[in-house]
Amino acid sequence: MDPSNGLNRSLDIVPTTEEKMKDRGQWSNKLEFVLSVAGEIIGLGNVWRFPYLCYKNGGGAFFIPYLIFLATCGIPVFFLETALGQYTSEGGITCWRKISPLFEGVGYATQVIVALLNVYYIIVLAWGIFYLAFSFSSSLPWSSCNNTWNTAFCVLPLLTYISVCICVFRRRVLRISSGIDEIGELHWDMALCLLLAWILCYFCIWKGVKSTGKVVYFTATFPYVMLIILLIRGITLPGASRGIQFYLYPDLGRLADPQVWMDAGTQIFFSYAICLGCLTALGSYNKYNNNCYKDCLALCFLNSGTSFVAGFAIFSILGFMSFEQNVPISEVAESGPGLAFIAYPRAVSMMPFSPLWACFFFIMIVLLGLDSQFVCVESLVTAIVDMYPSTFRRKNRRELLILAVAIVSFLFGLIMLTEGGMYVFQLFDYYAASGMCLLFVAIFETVCIAWIYGADRFYDNIEDMIGYRPGPYIKYCWLFLTPATCFGTFAFSLIKYTPLKYNNEYVYPWWGYALGWLLALSSMVCIPLWIIYKMGTAKGTLREVRPTEHNSNMQAHISVL
């Protein structure tokens, strides 16, 4: 069928006018792009998840599966999404529409995940702001039992029954109920912290890349200053070597456990922010000839390097705790919120000038979470604006859209600040943006680019942008290694699925698990449903997309026939 016979719908992939880029905006320079991506991918997971996974899964041996997943999935998909955004100059939905209308559902899936992520991820910022406010006191509240929220079981030293830090987190911050069916009252002080977090997020991105590009100079760099300070302080503490040994000592026998490989794969997807549309959105504001290949390689090494260094900072402190309390490292090692809001505060309370170190730590936590949060919001807004440019590229319309997204997300997030809110938060964290969802999306992303659009064709597009073709390894990853690895890991995650238990104790009611699976499926079903819809409504025959014309602007036509 001739693409020029009027039966095909043709779309220009690359903008051919300066007006479009002027309307969308561009990064003022490469550094703004690099810092924005760094701020997005280097987040809380680098500090509170990666070090614990190393300790849990064989220490230094964990780097073997981690690096394998990085090479076969992390870097290839990271580069794919960034290059796709730069080449199409479109957000997370319309970029897939232009590549292959049949796979537009991939874009919808990523934005559903991001929309859910925007609701619950910022809750951690609210907790961080709350703890940061506590840190500006001469005596940290979690260093004594002289608080109204402490129980009779709060004793010093912090070894018997419930520690002071657990009291603060569970009884002062969460004020947690006995189950998800007891939602209880809203904590208004925490709601104010959440409101402050959303205000900060809004003003970081309200002017698009003009404001985001300037904010990241601080939000993406200052956490490194804090991390270095905490690292230097940590390794000089007594017992630090004990913690570092547990962090790095290799136990090669753990590699026989499939769960170790599963943890490595999901950590790559979490920490590299792939399959969220964020990289596509950020890349879409690049100049067309920016060398995104070198940028991606540098950012990937920076991200993994930061995770590695953060492990030293965290486990040197945990080693100090183990030494001071004369207990095994396993009794003080925590992951996720437990590390940030229980274990680490308990550690700094044992140091001289503890409020100072607490301030440093929670400033780092807030900034790490803030730039990850506002980039996710920017990703969603960019996708919507690019879908309806005539509506939102008018005076103040984009700012109002960001405000609407912030208000709606804030209101939905309030349920997580009730007495039963932590149970809802855990459902979102376990199901909504789970490794299973991200792996599912990654399979279709690579299949679409490598097999439907064409890996060689996309390499031609990349060559047109950066002036040369990257080595063939990434192309073969897109074709074979990445989809196969993602599919295998996805299948394993289904086979080994275990229902969520809060704190490894609380079992959710059946409708709680149903809600969790609804959150997970809400993104995944977008892809097959869109394919069915498109096949049912397309006129003529369905044929693989192919380039029909190459010119100086690298224009191509994408068709559903």
Would you state the pLDDT for residue 146? Answer: 64
Average pLDDT over residues 445-471: 97
Radius of gyration of the chain measured on its C-alpha atoms: 24
For residue 183, pLDDT over 50 is answered with yes
In this prediction, residue 343 has a pLDDT band, given cuts at 50, 70 and 90, of confident
H-run or E-run covering 507: strand 506-507
b/e 434-463 (16+ beta carbons within 10 angstroms → b): bbbbbbbbbbbbbbbbbeebbbebbbebbe
Query: What local confidence, expressed as pLDDT, does residue 191 receive?
Result: 98
Determine what percent of the chain is predicted with pLDDT higher than 90. 67
Look at residue 529 in the predicted model and tell me its pLDDT.
Answer: 98
The yes-or-no verdict on residue 490 having pLDDT over 70 is yes
The C-alpha atoms of residue 329 and residue 333 are separated, in whole angstroms, by 6
- Domain map (residue ranges) of the chain: 18-537
Residues 492-541: pLDDT tens digits?
A: 989 989 999 998 889 999 999 999 999 999 999 999 999 999 998 877 65
Segment 165-191 mean pLDDT: 89
| pLDDT exceeds 70 at position 252 | yes
Question: For position 547, what pLDDT does the model report?
Answer: 40
* Residue at 503: amino acid letter: N
One-letter identity of residue 388: Y
Query: Amino acid letter at 418?
Result: T
Kindly state the average pLDDT of the residues 325-335: 78
Task: Give the residue among 155, 128, 51 at the shortest CA–CA distance from 366.
Answer: 128
Mean pLDDT taken over the chain: 87
How confident is the model at residue 151, as a pLDDT? 56
> What average pLDDT score do residues 147-176 get?
64
Mean pLDDT of 420-428: 96
Q: Residue 157: is the preceding peptide bond cis (ω within 30°)?
A: yes
How far apart are the C-alpha atoms of 544 and 100, rounded to whole Å? 9
* Binding region for Na(+): 39, 46, 271, 303, 368, 371-372
- Residue 332: the pLDDT is 77
What distance lies between CA 430 and its chain's CA centroid? 13
**Cα 323 to Cα 179: distance, rounded to the nearest angstrom:** 36
pLDDT at 331: 78
pLDDT at 24: 81
343-347, 379-383, 467-471: segment of lowest average pLDDT: 343-347
Q: What is the CATH number of domain 18-537?
A: 1.20.1740.10
pLDDT band at 348 (very low <50, low <70, confident <90, very high): confident
* pLDDT at residue 14 tops 60: no
pLDDT of residue 560: 36
**For the chain, what percent of residues have pLDDT higher than 70?**
88
Q: What pLDDT is attached to residue 12?
A: 42
State yes or no: pLDDT of 35 exceeds 50. yes
**Of 17-31, 253-267, 292-306, 324-338, highest mean pLDDT:** 292-306
Report pLDDT for 140. 77
| Mean pLDDT to the nearest integer, 331-345 | 78
pLDDT score of 471: 95
Task: Inform me whether the pLDDT recorded for 162 exceeds 60.
Answer: no
- What confidence tier does 558 reach under pLDDT thresholds 50, 70, 90? very low
Binding annotation:
39, 46, 271, 303, 368, 371-372
pLDDT band (50, 70, 90) for residue 167: confident
Q: pLDDT band at 27, cuts 50/70/90?
A: very high
Comparing 320-334, 352-366, 518-532, which segment has the lowest mean pLDDT?
320-334
Model confidence pLDDT, tens digit, residues 118-128: 999 999 999 99
Confidence of residue 22 (pLDDT cuts 50, 70, 90): low
- Model confidence at 318, pLDDT cuts 50, 70, 90, reads confident
* Contact in structure between 421 and 427 (CB atoms under 8 Å): no
Higher pLDDT, 139 or 219: 219
- pLDDT at site 4: 33
**555: pLDDT strictly greater than 50:** no
What is the predicted pLDDT for the residue at 143?
66
- How many alpha carbons lie under 13 Å from residue 212 in its C-beta half-sphere? 33
Q: Which of 229-238, 341-350, 365-374 has the lowest mean pLDDT?
A: 341-350
**Residue 464 in this model has a pLDDT that exceeds 90:** yes
Instruction: Kindly report the pTM of this predicted structure.
Output: 0.90
Give the range among 21-30, 192-201, 379-388, 426-435 with minimum mean pLDDT. 21-30
Residue 55 confidence (pLDDT): 86
- Using pLDDT thresholds of 50, 70 and 90, give the confidence band for residue 137: confident
The 3-class secondary structure across 418-473, one letter per residue, is ECCHHHHHHHHHHHHCCHHHHHHHHHHHHHHHHHHHHHHHHHHHHHHHHCCCCCHH
| pLDDT at residue 17, as a whole number | 42
Average pLDDT of 414-430? 96
